[in-house]
């Protein structure tokens, strides 16, 4: 997955636009974009729309549920699991233990819906609480359902009392840079997708393109979107170019031809085992 597009669960119009986009994953949102008084209606709208329209989209369908502390999670699962989403996004995850708790809840609901155990994956947002930032290393081995990890700045900003997550130049301040780095390390420790957070100003396409490029450079393999217009930019940024794929294949082939040594020479440059690993990862992304 490269692009993950948020769509409010209580708007059929926006759901239709989201499903018609080129997003790899559509995230039907029951959490922040839905008012408390409208949660029940949103569940009904989302379940009906997913059931009727999933055959018409090539995107995977995830649902962002309400977090475990709200008391609304089980109601979300009761409405959503039966329509067989590909995964759930878990907001405000404090540790891998939260993933385990949600997995146990899902196991019951899957059995009731006649689904295979583990059919629904989990993508936690791991930096929306201070405790979550510190617990980034606990997701490795937490559950076979784990499909990736991602991060968010807005809820963390509220939790610590920061007026903004960015400085006057538009760059993240230190706390949020730390949260971003923890997410990238947590994803790789768990060997799952590293998903970068949203860029709220969807009209600033130049800034968005730059942030996508920075995220791909640093090792993120996907990014979340809040508007369909952001999706093509994400897909372009996180799709390896033909030249990069060709170079990666050449590196892998050079190691194979040399009997997989520690170092090989290719076109006047030396490549060691980390370069091989990078080439293999890029080719795996290209295949997906």
User: Percent of the chain having pLDDT more than 70?
Assistant: 100
Residue 258 has pLDDT above 90, yes or no: no
Beta-bridge partners for 193: 148
Q: What is the pLDDT of residue 268?
A: 85
Sign of CA dihedral 20, 22, 24, 29: negative
Arithmetic mean of pLDDT, 132-142: 97
| Local confidence band at 231 (pLDDT 50, 70, 90 cut-offs) | very high
Tens of pLDDT along 161-211?
Answer: 999 999 998 999 999 999 999 999 999 999 999 999 999 999 999 999 999
Q: What is the pLDDT of residue 279?
A: 87
Of the candidates 251, 197, 244, which has an alpha carbon nearest to the alpha carbon of residue 225? 197
Angle at 56 between CA 51 and CA 59, to 5 degrees: 90
Tokens 């979340």 -> residue: 224
Q: What is the pLDDT of residue 256?
A: 87
The model carries a pTM of 0.90
Tens of pLDDT along 263-287?
Answer: 888 888 888 888 888 888 888 888 7
Beta-bridge partners for 223: 3, 196
**Torsion over CA of 198, 201, 205 and 210, rounded to 10 degrees?**
-50
Residues in the chain: 288
Q: How far is CA 150 from CA 179, 263, 271, in A?
A: 10, 34, 31
Q: What is the pLDDT of residue 150?
A: 98
Tokens 């081995």 -> residue: 141
DSSP the chain: --EEEEEETT-HHHHHHHHHS--SEEEEESSTTS-GGGHHHHHHHHHHHHHHHGGG--SEEEEEPPPTTSS-HHHHHHHHGGG--SEEEETT--SHHHHHHHHHHHHHHHHHHTPPTT-SEEEEB--SSHHHHHTGGG-TTS-TTB-EEE--SHHHHHHHT-S-SB-TTSPBPHHHHHHHHHHHHHHHHHTSEEEE---S-TT-HHHHHHHHHHHHHHT--EEEESSGGGHHHHHHHTSPPHHHHHHHHHHHHHHHHTTS-SEEEETTEEEEHHHHHHHHHHHHHHH-
User: Domain spans of the chain?
Assistant: 3-237, 242-287
Candidates 3.30.1340.10, 3.50.50.100, 3.20.20.60, 3.30.70.360; CATH matching 3-237: 3.20.20.60
Phi, psi (deg, nearest 5) at residue 8: -60, 135
Q: Which two tokens stand for residue 65?
A: 């549920």
């Amino acid at each position: 997955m490269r692009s993950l597009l948020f769509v409010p669960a209580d708007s059929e119009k926006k759901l239709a636009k989201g499903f018609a986009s080129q997003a790899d994953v559509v995230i039907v949102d029951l959490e922040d974009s839905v008012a408390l008084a409208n949660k029940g209606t949103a569940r009904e709208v989302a379940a009906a729309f997913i059931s009727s329209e999933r055959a018409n989209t090539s995107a995977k369908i995830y649902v962002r549920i309400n977090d475990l502390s709200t008391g609304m999670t089980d109601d979300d699962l009761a409405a959503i699991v039966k329509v067989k989403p590909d995964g759930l996004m878990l907001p405000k995850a404090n540790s891998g233990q939260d993933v385990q708790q949600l997995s146990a809840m899902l196991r019951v609901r899957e059995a009731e819906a006649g689904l295979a155990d583990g059919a629904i994956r989990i993508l936690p947002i791991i930096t929306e609480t201070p405790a979550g930032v510190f617990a980034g290393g606990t997701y490795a081995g937490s559950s076979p359902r784990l499909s990736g990890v991602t991060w968010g700045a807005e809820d963390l900003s509220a939790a610590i009392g920061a007026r903004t997550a960015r400085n006057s130049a538009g760059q993240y301040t230190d706390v949020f840079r730390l949260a971003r780095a923890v997410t990238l390390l947590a994803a790789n420790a768990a060997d799952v997708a590293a998903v970068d957070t949203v860029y709220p100003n969807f009209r600033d396409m130049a800034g968005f393109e730059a942030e996508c490029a920075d995220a791909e450079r640093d090792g993120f393999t996907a990014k979340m979107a809040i508007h369909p217009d952001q999706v093509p930019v994400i897909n372009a940024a996180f799709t390896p170019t033909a030249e990069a794929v060709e170079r990666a294949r050449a590196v892998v082939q050079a190691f194979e031809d040399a009997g997989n040594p520690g170092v090989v020479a290719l076109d006047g440059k030396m490549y060691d085992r980390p370069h091989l690993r990078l080439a293999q990862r890029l080719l795996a992304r290209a295949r997906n």
